[in-house]
Structures are given as C-alpha cells and as structure tokens.
Structure 1
Amino acid sequence: MDWVRRRAGWVLGLGLIGGLVWTGIVTLSQPGWYDPTQDCSRKLGPDATGVHTSWFPPTASCLYGDESRTYMSTPRTVVLSIIAVPLLIIIVTGLILTVRRLAGDPGPIRAAGALDLRKRWIKHLTFGAADLAIVFAPLTFLNAVAIVFGAIPGGILFIVTSLVGLSAICTALDRHLGPLPSRALDSRRRGTIAGVTTYAVVFAATAITGGLPFLRLWSVPLGGIAYAVIVAVQWRRASTSANQVQYSD
C-alpha cells in the first residue's frame, strides 16, 4: 500500500487513461452521434425511428415504432460493465491518494544559496508560460477528440485528466524554477493550484464566450498568460512569507 501511495499520480493517470479508452470503446459500440438512426438502419434494418443508449450499464437499442432492437450485444455490455468497476475503483483511489499527498510529508527545506532569485523568477514566468501554452495546443485538439469519441463521460474524464496533468507539469516547473526557500510539499501545493487555476481560467473564458464544450485556439496564449500571472502572485506571496519569517527570527 505504501508503494501505491508513493505512486498515486501514476495510479490515477493509468486509471484516467483507461477510463478514456473505455468511453471511446462504448461510444464506438453505440450508434454514431451524428446520425444514429442511419447506423441503426444499416445494421438492423431500415426505417429506424429512434435510439436509446445508456452508459452504465453500456447498452444501445434502436427503436422501430413500438419495437426495440438490440444494437449492442449483451456479451459486450457485460464485459464493458465488468471492466468499468475496477477502472472506477482505480480512479477514485488515485484521486484520494493524490489529494492526501497535498497534506503529506513536507520534506527538507531547499535553500536559495547563491542562486539569483530574480533570474529564477524570470525563468519561471517565461519558460513556464511558454510550456503551458505549448501544453494547451494539444489539449485543445484532444478536448474535441474526447468529447466526440467519449461524449459527456469522455469530456468529464478529459477535464479531470487535464487537471491532473497540468498540476503535475506545474509542480515540476515549481520544483525546478519556483520560489526558494521551499519544501517539496510547497511545490506540490503551488503546482496544483497553478495547474487547476490555469485550466479554470481557460474553461471560464470558453464558457463566457459561448465556446463550450470545445476549447478554442486562443486558449493556447491564454493558458500561458494565466499561468504567468498566477506564478507571479505565488512568488510575491512566497517572498512576503520568507521576509516575515526572517524578520521574526
């Protein structure tokens, strides 16, 4: 269990990727979203009048007046339902363990030493903003793919996956370029806040402009700018806190 706790991020990541694959398989096993009645007519006969689908258990049936014909086979429904249970357990367990790490062992203090903190601050803002902008480029594309092939469950899983991935990237950036003195726990917390807040800004801007559920290309520069602003605030808070500690000593 201790090994799993230390690898909480990997456990969660594998669970989320598995969940995205699962939603894609379920979607492909159901009539297409663009013209579902045509898929029904092609597979089960012409003159389909409607479609009924369910995600758990994953099922799909085509309506022919008062008659309902099974589109997704029962064995596939059973197999996908069985697979969904451990995937859900892995995702929930990974989320719980990941959140607990934000209150775990703080680790040793990393001192600034002879480092030029101003140069470190500039690198954090510039390289960090560029990295986040680069990350949002594929996110914009993958967001559309997840929704098209995974529908609402795929979109939700993609959001969670994006939050986890951005938090991990921002934590790594903070660990290498973040404020000093600092502890590993501080980097995890600042990185998580930066990643989640950056995505929240992009998501909110997309919602306000009426672009949901698909991210727009302008989310690429917006993600970088939002991250730079958040990091600047974190540096200021860390500097103020360090000065207060030094003054009290």
Structure 2
Amino acid sequence: MKLVKRRAGWVLTLGLLSMLGWSLAVSASMPSWFDPDYDCGRAFPQAEGDLRRVDEQWLPPRAGCDFGSGEVHQFISTTRSTVLTVVFALTAALTVLGLHLVLRRLWEPQGILRSAEAVDLRRRKLKHLGLGAGATLLGLAVFTVASVFAAFLGGPPGMVIVALFATIALSAVASTLDREYGPLPSTARDSRRRGTLTGCVTFTTVFVLTVASGKFPFYQLWIAPVGALTYLVVTGLPWSRQSQRQLS
C-alpha cells in the first residue's frame, strides 16, 4: 500500500486513461454522429420508414433508433451495455482511489525544509516563471486540440475526462517546477500545495473565460497565452511575499 501511495499520480493517470478508453468504447458502440441513418438502417434493415431520431444514454450505455413506427430499436445490446457499465464502475473506482491518494499528499508531514542559503533567488525565480509559463502555454495548446478530438470521439464524458486530466497535469507540472525552482525556504508539501493551487486556478480561469466567450464546449487557442499569464500571476504571488519578508 505504501508503494501505491508513492505512485498516487500514476494510479490517477491510469484511472483517467481507463475512463477515457471507456468513453471511446461507448461512443464507438453508438450510431455514428455524422451518419446515424446509415448505422441504424444497417443494424435494423427490417425497420420501416426513415430514421426520426437517436436516443442516447451514456450510463448505462444505450442508444435507440426511432424510425417513427412507435417502436424504438436498441442499437446497443444488453450484454454490451452491462459490460460497459461494469467497466465504468471499475475505472471510476480506480480514478477515485488515485484522486484520494493524490489529495492526501497535500496533508502529509512537511518534510525537510530547504533553505535559501547560498541560492541565487533571482535566477531561481526567473527559471521558475519562465519554464512554468512555457510549459503551461504548450500544455494548453495541446489540450485545445485534444478537447476537439475528445468531443467527437468520446462525447461529453470524454471532454470532462480530458479537462480533468489537463487540470491534474497542470498541477503536477507546477508542483514539480515549484519544488525545483520555487520560493525558499520551502518544503515538498508547500510545493505540492502551491502547484495544485496554480494548476486549478489556471484551468478554472480558461474554463470560465471560454464559457463567457460563448465558445464552450470548444476551447480556442487563445486560452494558451491566457493560461500562461494566469500561471505567471499565481506563481508570482509567493515570490512577492518572500521578497516582502526579506525586506522586513
């Protein structure tokens, strides 16, 4: 169990990837979004009339082809729906376990206090802000493209999973950079807390601005520089407080 705790991030990543795979499997089991008439017609050649609508449900996975005859034909078999539901339960449990282990690390003992003695803090700060802003810019640009694929291939669950994955990835990168180049004196727990806060605030900012712009659920590339700027602001605050303490 101690090994699992030390690898909490990997457990959470595995859970999220498993859930993304589940969303792709469910999406592939449903009629194609760009040509449902063909898929429903091929699955139910005996049905009379033209396809009126497709009733979709993600949990438990169901898809009904309605040809207007009063009978809704189930596109996903009961067996497949049951298997996908069980898979969802397992992947969700793994994800919740990983998230629980990751959050618990925010309340672990502080650990060794790293001193600022004999450290060029100005150079350290520039590395921290520069590398972090660059990583955030690149990461959000990749997320913008990934979210489009998730929307079309994984549906709403896929989009939620990719967004959660992006938030966790931003937090992980911010925590790592904070530990390596962040303000001193500091502990590993301090870096994890600051990094988690930075990642969550950064993604929340671009999410809110995307919704406000009316573009949601499709993110635009402008979120990358906005996210990088948000990272600089949030990360710069601890450095400002450290400078004030030194002056006092």
| TM-score strictly above 0.5 | yes
* Match of residue 195 from structure 1: 199
* Match of residue 63 from structure 2: 60
For the residue of structure 1 that corresponds to 2:200, the secondary structure is helix
5 Å-filtered alignment, 1:86-97, equals: 86-97=90-101
Give 5+ residue unaligned stretches, structure 2: none
* Match of residue 104 from structure 2: 100
* Match of residue 6 from structure 2: 6
Q: 1:231 aligns with which of 229, 235, 248?
A: 235
TM-score computed with the length of structure 2 as normaliser: 0.92
Alignment partners' CA distance in 1, 2:179 and 2:126:
15
Paired residue total: 244
Alignment partners' CA distance in 1, 2:242 and 2:187:
12
Q: Structure 1 pair 177/67, CA: closer, same or farther in 2 (3 Å)?
A: same
Contact 1:121 1:177 in 2 (8 A): yes
For the residue of structure 2 that corresponds to 1:102, the secondary structure is helix
Alignment partners' CA distance in 1, 2:236 and 2:22:
39
* Match of residue 49 from structure 1: 52
For the residue of structure 2 that corresponds to 1:109, the secondary structure is coil
For the residue of structure 1 that corresponds to 2:144, the secondary structure is helix
Structure 2 residue identity aligned to 1:75:
T
Q: 1:115 aligns with which of 101, 119, 129?
A: 119
Alignment partners' CA distance in 2, 1:243 and 1:106:
22
Q: Deviations over 1:47-80 (max 9, x none)?
A: 2222122111112121122112121123221221
Q: 2:164 aligns with which of 136, 160, 164?
A: 160
Alignment partners' CA distance in 1, 2:206 and 2:192:
21
In the TM superposition, what is the alpha-carbon distance from 1:35 to its structure 2 partner? 4.1
Q: 1:127 aligns with which of 121, 124, 131?
A: 131
For the residue of structure 1 that corresponds to 2:107, the secondary structure is coil
Q: 2:84 aligns with which of 71, 80, 86?
A: 80
Q: Deviations over 1:223-242 (max 9, x none)?
A: 111111111112123444x5
In the TM superposition, what is the alpha-carbon distance from 1:37 to its structure 2 partner? 3.5
In the TM superposition, what is the alpha-carbon distance from 1:142 to its structure 2 partner? 0.5
Alignment partners' CA distance in 2, 1:234 and 1:26:
44
Q: Alpha carbon RMSD of aligned pairs, Å?
A: 1.7
In the TM superposition, what is the alpha-carbon distance from 1:36 to its structure 2 partner? 2.8
